[in-house]
Amino acid sequence: MERKIRAYDSLKNRVRHEPGGRMMYFRKKPVMIPLLVFAVYASLLGVYFWYTAPVRVPAEFAGTAADPAVYMTNGQLDDIESMRPWLRWVFFVTPPLQWLALWLLLTGGTAVRWRKALERTRLPPAVRYPVFVFFVWAVSSLAAFPFRFASYRVSYAHGVATQSVPGWLRDWSVSFLLDYAAVLAALGAAQWLMSRGGRWKGKLWLLSVPFIAFYMYIQPVFISPLFVDIRPMSDERLERSILELARRADIHAGRVFEAEMSSKTNAVNAEVRGLGSTLRIVVWDTALEQLGEEELLQVMAHEIGHYVKRHLEWAAAGYALWSLVLIAAVGTLYERLAASRGGRWGIRRPSDMTGVPLMLLLVSVALFVCQPAANAISREAERAADLYALELTGNAEAEIAFIQKTARTSLSDSYPPLLSRLYSTHPSDLERIAMALRFSEERSGNDRPGKDRPGEERRGG
């Protein structure tokens, strides 16, 4: 008799009642299984990045301007070998950690309990849904927070990041709220269209296209200033040089803007952002401080190359096409899982807010898996911009010099391991310098510039 009572109590713990009296059964899979899978994955990545930590270059580039032993000190190379493996590990571990958090929310019944608690408040659906999405997004973001904060502290300890802890926390909070607003809009539109029936995936894609264009339009004017102070360039002579270079490429910009990034990082960069009337040429103040004029103009020529070759427009078209594939694939898979396993997870229908963790999980996995393909396209665009800059200025020495300087200030690995290269948006520093070396040889037929630069400390074998 006692055994039957224990069995009955166990069954009650696994049964949930819907408001209408319908009973749902939750199969509580052991938490240890997904945790063990995650631990094995994280451990294997740790071994891989530890093994690939030493800075190496292919033999044919040893001793050339593409070899970091030529333009970096032993101390800088040691810092790269201690910092970069950690940052790479965090990059690849953080998304699966968020997937784990979303999976446990869904399969553990927490999402259902939140939904029921909100329903008991008798708040209108227009209020309950944003609150529910906020809870889910908070769990996902907070799961990754310790790793992101640790990465920032590692970068700070190595002199790359310069931002204070309060400043970093502020930027993280602003990013969290902006991402939450975007997630709420996307998931809210998707589930509202599901509730209406019909071809909701096609309608959602039609909504996404103007949203993508609108974001690219407002980003340099309204989004970027939330994180950094952007003002007109104070050096009028340098501004005229940059605008003259832009006019040679048929870009008629009225001003060049300066972004105050030195309070956040020692890395250098410049960018051409925006569409139409919001087009802006922006130079980081770190670039103004650390680069010579020829090197800075070379950086700007690269950014101008993106504009001339319509990479911004192609990116917008690519995002639109990618969103079509993503919505079709993820939407179909979500509908099938909601139909086949929704009863176990408390998803009453595809438009039920309980399905939000599942939707976020599927979208995140799809984005992560397909990122190498998207980044391969990005790397080709970066190579094209590099080649355009070389052809516009004809200054391979300045190209090599600015890549070497940016590598020193950001402590970037000139030739990272294969897995990192697959997920990188830019070619490696070694590949970019090698292109400049080939360009110089083809132009002049002279010896490679920058080889064994005098005064630079060589790293021992």
pLDDT for 3 equals 53
Token pair for residue 274? 């925006």
Note whether residue 459 is domain-resident. no
Closest CA to 76 of 408, 395, 435, 440: 408
CB 357 within 8 A of CB 106: yes
Total Cβ atoms within 10 A of residue 376: 12
* Beta pairing, strands 280-284 & 270-273: antiparallel
- Residues facing 25 on adjacent strands: 15
Determine the Cα angle at 288 with ends 284 and 290, to 5°.
110
Q: Which domain holds residue 388?
A: 32-196+309-444
pLDDT for 29 equals 52
pLDDT for 7 equals 46
> Where do runs of H (alpha helix) occur along 161-235?
165-196, 200-218
303 is catalytic: yes
> Where do runs of H (alpha helix) occur along 108-164?
110-120, 125-157
Amino acid found at 215: Y
Determine the Cα angle at 70 with ends 66 and 74, to 5°.
125
Closest CA to 432 of 392, 461, 459, 405: 405
Note whether residue 104 is domain-resident. yes
Within a 13 Å sphere around the CA of 403, how many CA atoms are in the beta-carbon half? Answer: 30
- Residues facing 265 on adjacent strands: 161
- Residues facing 230 on adjacent strands: 259
Please state the domain count of the chain.
1
Report how far residue 275's alpha carbon sits from residue 261's, in angstroms, rounded to the nearest whole number. Answer: 23
Note whether residue 105 is domain-resident. yes
Note whether residue 240 is domain-resident. no
pLDDT for 186 equals 93
Segments of the chain scoring below 70 in pLDDT: 1-30, 253, 445-461
Report how far residue 157's alpha carbon sits from residue 151's, in angstroms, rounded to the nearest whole number. Answer: 10
Note whether residue 164 is domain-resident. yes
Q: Which residues of 164-189 are buried (b: 16+ CB within 10 A; e: fewer)?
A: eeeebeebeeeeeeeebeebbebbbb
372-376 long-range Cβ contacts below 8 angstroms, 24+ apart = 372/422, 372/423, 374/318, 374/322, 375/422, 375/423, 375/424, 375/425, 376/422
Note whether residue 160 is domain-resident. yes
Closest CA to 387 of 429, 435, 419: 435
Can you point out the beta strands (E) in 255-315?
A: 256-259, 270-273, 280-284
Token pair for residue 344? 């176990």
Q: Please give the model's pTM, rounded to 2 decimal places.
A: 0.86
pLDDT in tens, 370-394: 999 999 999 999 999 999 999 988 9
* Three-class HEC string of 379-438: HHHHHHHHHHHHHHHCCHHHHHHHHHHHHHHHCCCCCCCHHHHHCCCCCCHHHHHHHHHH
pLDDT for 23 equals 43
Note whether residue 67 is domain-resident. yes
Measured between its terminal Cα atoms, the distance across the chain in Å is: 76
DSSP codes, 220-235? IIIIGGGTS-EEE-S-
Note whether residue 290 is domain-resident. no
pLDDT for 224 equals 87
The residue from 239, 295, 303, 382 that is catalytic is 303
CB 331 within 8 A of CB 294: no
